[in-house]
Amino acid sequence: MRKFAIAALAALFSASSAQADNSVRQNTIAVAGEAEALVPPDYAMIQLGVISQAPLVSDALADNSARMTRVIDAMKALGIPAKDIQTATFVIQPKYEKLPDGDYDAQRFRTIVGYYISNSVTVKVRDLSNVAKIIDDSVKAGANASGDVSFMVDSLAARMDDVRRRAIADALHKAQVLSEAAHMKLGRALSVIDNQANTSYDNEMRGSVLSEEVIVVGGGGVSTPIESGRVTLSAKVTVIYATN
């Protein structure tokens, strides 16, 4: 008799728990919202570099310093203020003697036969029509390393806020369509996840690359072709709505 009473109490407790779970459980629908905006860039970031090599580190440094000084002076002559020119990298590396194949020994000291020095600066350019001339003049002044040209926008946070609002509106529209098709009543939003927002350089290839690489190797009589394109601002959100 006692066992029967315990079993009855257990069954009653289980039924009560199931009813409580059903009262808490809520039907939901999850949707993804997307939006993007194509805007013209406001400024460009250009990286220019100088690479020097010599048997003596002092000679390599002297050559590199002279070249980079001329590059920076050329930028200032084009109206770039000093505050918009910043050293990005500076590296001194030894060059070791080349060993015959199969003659490598981790415990053996290799003779230093020269030095490699790389110095690069990042230049902020507001006048986008000046980008090509900056690259051309930097080469004439002594730049000889590859550089990147990245196009950027001002007030990014404010612009992204508008794109996120449109992404939320897109999610709501999808939820309304799905709930109507499923004969459900759409309720309030229970949660919103802001997936990683993205800004990407766009030059007739939407969102495909972030920057344009310019190989700086030597002087020439033809101006460097640079197109500013557009910047793609995109946002993705995931929204969970209640339904009944």
Full set of structural domains in the chain with CATH: 26-42+154-244 (3.30.110.170), 43-97+112-152 (3.30.70.2970)
Sign of the C-alpha dihedral computed for residues 147, 151, 153 and 154 taken in this order = positive
Beta carbons within 8 Å of 227's beta carbon, 6+ residues apart? 203
pLDDT of 228 strictly over 90: no
Question: Cα 52 from chain centroid?
Answer: 30
Span of 4-13, 36-45, 77-86, 195-204 with lowest mean pLDDT: 4-13
Q: Which of 124, 148, 146, 135 shows the shortest CA–CA distance to 51?
A: 146
Looking at the DSSP bridge assignments, the partners of residue 85 are 123
Q: What was the pLDDT predicted at 197?
A: 56
pLDDT of 202 strictly over 60: no
CA angle 146, 40, 83 (to 5 degrees): 55
Between 26 and 197, name the one with better pLDDT: 26
Q: What was the pLDDT predicted at 229?
A: 81
Q: Which of 162, 10, 138 shows the shortest CA–CA distance to 67?
A: 138
CA–CA distance, 214 with 146 (Å, rounded to integer)? 6
* Residue range 56-107, pLDDT digits in tens: 999 999 999 999 999 999 999 999 999 999 999 999 999 998 877 766 666 6
Task: Give 203-217 as a DSSP string.
Answer: SSSTTS-S-EEE---
As to burial, measured by CB atoms within 10 angstroms (0-12 exposed, 13-18 middle, 19+ buried), residue 92 is middle
What pTM value is reported for the model? 0.66
Between 151 and 70, name the one with better pLDDT: 70
Q: What was the pLDDT predicted at 173?
A: 96
Where are the alpha helices (H) located in 25-130, listed in sequence order?
57-77
